[in-house]
């Protein structure tokens, strides 16, 4: 197979953070690039509808729900994921914290023989610019609660405004592209509605469809939304052949000289395990696949300061017992969840 016979030079599986960055940088180098995304395109109307109708928010295909907020439940872990063009950025809280030294001191990082802190520094700088990161200019009641909790823990010095990937501007006021010399999309100032994690219907959150994906498409990247990769196998003439399932359940085939897998940790591992162990299509994948897996180090938590055993906790949790004074930190769950402290 010659270069001209391939559908793409690069096929990127997944349109989240990893996939979007990869696609933009590859197309900037002149390659023909395609992105395959299992979810659909999510715009302001879809997000607004999902705010009012949870059935339009959640991604549970087995129940016929094909929104854009999915989750996976494990024994000790509840993981949220975005399913749509923009991946996790659709349901992400827009927090942009850089790793602390402990991240780089991890043995799994050290044994690679790379000074990752030095290696990643310029890329963090690029990402900050692309996501237009700035400190949140507003403090709310919850911020003051957090400050009080930090003070009680002797960690008040660590408290501060959070760096966000949000266009704050003037609340509710639309503005022509404020970031990319007029080449980007129109933005609207943040209303401080606190609804980032179920999508921003106003165009304030700097999700990937407003930066990396926006410019990737502008430069010629083709996005195949609503399309799932079922199998990856070597092609007879070199490169790879991908078996895809489209929204109408029909299978199709796409070929590429190279494939970038960025379907989230779980999606990528599932696809690789199936191709290696179930179908026998990629037998040379290392036995260490899945041996070292980590999250993106972000957790959703709720903190409650309890001053007496009978004091109410102003979060969506019911506390059974507590010895005063105590700081309780739990995973945020729906109202009526019960914890014994």
- Which residues have a Cβ under 8 Å from the Cβ of 45 and sit 6 or more positions away? 201
pTM for this prediction: 0.85
Which has the closest alpha carbon to 166: 143, 135, 125, 209? 135
Which has the closest alpha carbon to 89: 188, 185, 198? 198
DSSP for residue 236 = T
Of residues 107 and 310, more confidently modeled: 107
Cβ(31)–Cβ(9) under 8 Å?
A: yes
Question: Has residue 320 got a pLDDT over 50?
Answer: no
- Can you name the residues that pair with 71 across neighbouring β-strands? 80
SS3 203: coil
Res. 223 pLDDT band, cuts 50 70 90: very high
What structural domains and CATH numbers belong to the chain?
A: 3-278 (3.50.50), 301-339 (no CATH)
Instruction: Give the Å distances, CA to CA, from 3 to 28, 54, 140, 259, 275.
Output: 19, 46, 57, 15, 25
Res. 22 pLDDT band, cuts 50 70 90: very high
SS3 175: strand
Question: Has residue 246 got a pLDDT over 90?
Answer: no
- The two three-digit tokens of residue 184, written as one number: 């980007």
Mean pLDDT score, 92-102: 90
Residues 182-212: tens digit of each pLDDT = 999 999 999 999 899 999 999 999 999 999 9
Angle, vertex CA 255, rays to CA 251 and CA 257, nearest 5: 155
pLDDT > 70: what percent of the chain?
Answer: 85
pLDDT (0 to 100) of residue 76: 78
Q: How many CB atoms lie within 10 A of CB 312?
A: 10
Angle, vertex CA 177, rays to CA 94 and CA 90, nearest 5: 30
pLDDT > 90: what percent of the chain?
Answer: 65
Res. 218 pLDDT band, cuts 50 70 90: very high
Residues 141-162: tens digit of each pLDDT = 888 888 888 888 898 998 888 8
């Amino acid at each position: 197979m010659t270069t001209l016979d391939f559908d793409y030079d690069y096929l990127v599986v997944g349109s989240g953070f990893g996939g979007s960055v990869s696609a933009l940088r590859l197309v900037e180098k002149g390659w023909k690039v395609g992105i395959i995304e299992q979810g659909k395109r999510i715009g302001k109307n879809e997000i607004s509808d999902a705010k009012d109708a949870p059935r339009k928010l959640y991604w549970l295909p087995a129940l016929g729900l094909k929104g854009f907020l999915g989750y996976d439940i494990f024994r000790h872990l509840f993981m949220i994921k975005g399913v749509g063009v923009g991946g996790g950025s659709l349901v992400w809280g827009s927090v942009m914290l850089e790793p602390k030294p402990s991240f780089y001191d991890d043995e799994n990082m050290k044994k690679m023989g790379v000074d990752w802190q030095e290696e990643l520094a310029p890329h963090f700088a690029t990402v900050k610019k692309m996501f237009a990161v700035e400190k949140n200019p507003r403090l709310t009641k919850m911020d003051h609660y957090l400050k009080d909790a930090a003070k009680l823990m002797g960690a008040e010095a660590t408290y501060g405004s959070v760096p966000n990937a949000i266009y704050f501007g003037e609340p509710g006021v639309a503005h022509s592209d404020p970031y990319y010399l007029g080449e980007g999309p129109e933005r609207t100032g943040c209303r401080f509605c606190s609804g980032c994690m179920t999508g921003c219907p106003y165009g304030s959150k700097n999700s990937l469809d407003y930066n990396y994906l926006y410019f990737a498409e502008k430069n010629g990247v083709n996005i195949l939304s609503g399309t799932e990769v079922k199998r990856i196998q070597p092609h007879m003439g070199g490169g790879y052949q991908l078996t895809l399932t489209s929204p109408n359940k029909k299978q199709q085939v796409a070929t590429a000289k190279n494939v970038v897998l960025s379907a989230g940790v779980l999606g990528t591992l599932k696809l690789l395990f199936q191709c290696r162990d179930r179908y026998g299509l990629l037998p040379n994948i290392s036995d260490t696949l899945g041996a070292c897996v980590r999250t993106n180090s972000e957790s959703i938590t709720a903190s409650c300061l309890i001053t007496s055993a009978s004091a109410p906790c102003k979060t969506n949790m019911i506390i059974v017992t507590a010895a005063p004074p105590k700081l309780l930190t739990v995973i945020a769950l729906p109202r009526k969840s019960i914890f014994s402290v």
